[in-house]
Structure 1
Amino acid sequence: TLLRVSDLLTLKRADVFDERGNVRLNAYLHDQKTGKANRLYLKPVIGDLLAYQQWLQQENLISPWLFPSTQHPDQHLTEKQFYKIMRKVGDLLDLDYLGTHTMRKTGAYRVYVQSNYNIGLVMHLLNHSSEAMTLAYLGLDQASTEEMLDNIDFG
């Protein structure tokens, strides 16, 4: 989703699912860090959301939150709980670098590469204010920029 974990964890089920349980096309939120409005396009994750909804039902987790605490369903997961989950997943996959921000950063880089380096798209998805901020976020310094330029045929 390319959301910050603070924004992801505060999503409510009604933000993502309509009253019949169908996935909405978009979720609307305000970034907690920046206060800017953000629209989250949900079509790419419909299958995951439906599977997750089914799991919530199987576990009898009834909550207004999309990501409820299993011990306190009236509350959403905390960032600390989410971090512990990510560490456990990392351990299971034998990865030592999974954290609360990994999915946002990795997703942004994947969109950047698979969209033919469309920095404007990535900037929009991350809700950044400038391309320079997005390039720095992606870790694209002068050396990596030069490496990419070395592979371009200027004819």
Structure 2
Amino acid sequence: MEQKVLPIKDSNVLIKVQRCLQEDFKAGVRNYTIFQVGKATLLRVSDILTLKWADVFDEKGNVRQNTYLHDRKTGKANRLYLKPVVGDLLAYQRWLEQENIISEWLFPSTKHPDQHITEKQFYKVMVKVGDLLDLDYLGTHTMRKTGAYRVYMQSNYNIGLVMHLLNHSSEAMTLAYLGLDQASTEEMLDNIDFG
């Protein structure tokens, strides 16, 4: 049976996931930073893990405000706004220096720094977090879906913005991606004053 990956909608659960990523793994700072970058940029994990150091940091070691790439899945151009994760990226940079990990990849394998961490490795990390926290809906798309859900909710349901950030071409696709089922829709409708 295929696993259903959903966004993390509850902020308390999100904090637990972030803490688990950071504290329960040898490369916790890297895993946490991957999650934070994915949540803030809404990139697919395949695009995050193939980011190079020079894509995100300039020659002086400062985080770039924006970086550009083409989605591996769609081929569409994508401009990433990195300001929301500058603090996380700088803390990650310090961790890499402390661990003496040098690589062209932003998220290198700790065993083989000349290679980036694989999707399979990060999937195992997310599954372990799910097991530790008794959550059965975590996967590599969790960060992208969580970021999209948070943008949707905090932008007063601006579906156009979320569609743009996800590079989706239909509203229906985006709503399904956000995990907006009938119960979620009814909950939102309960808060509407129909007069």
Tell me the TM-score normalised to structure 1 length: 0.90
What is residue 98 of structure 1 aligned with on the other side? 138
What is residue 42 of structure 2 aligned with on the other side? 2
What letter corresponds to residue 118 of structure 2 in structure 1? T
SS at match of 1:38: strand
Write the distance in 1 (CA, Å) between the matches of 2:122 and 2:178. 23
Write the distance in 2 (CA, Å) between the matches of 1:90 and 1:57. 29
Structure 1 gap segments, 5+ residues each = none
- Computed over aligned residues only, the root mean square deviation of the Cα atoms, in angstroms, reads 1.8
- Percent identity between matched residues is 90
What is residue 44 of structure 1 aligned with on the other side? 84
Task: Report which stretch shifted further, 90-99 or 121-130.
Answer: 90-99
Matched, 1:65 2:65: no
Matched, 1:148 2:183: no
Q: Please, which of 30, 42, 56 is the counterpart of residue 96 of structure 2?
A: 56
Shift of 1:46: 0.3
What letter corresponds to residue 139 of structure 1 in structure 2? G
Query: Compared with structure 1, are the counterparts of its residues 143 and 83 closer, same or farther at alpha carbon in structure 2 (3 Å cutoff)?
Result: closer
Matched, 1:122 2:162: yes
- When you count helix as a share of all residues, which structure comes out higher? 2
Count of residues paired in the alignment: 155
Structure 2 gap segments, 5+ residues each = 1-40
- Structure with the larger RCO, 1 or 2 (CA within 8 Å, 6+ apart): 2
Task: Report which stretch shifted further, 32-41 or 142-151.
Answer: 142-151
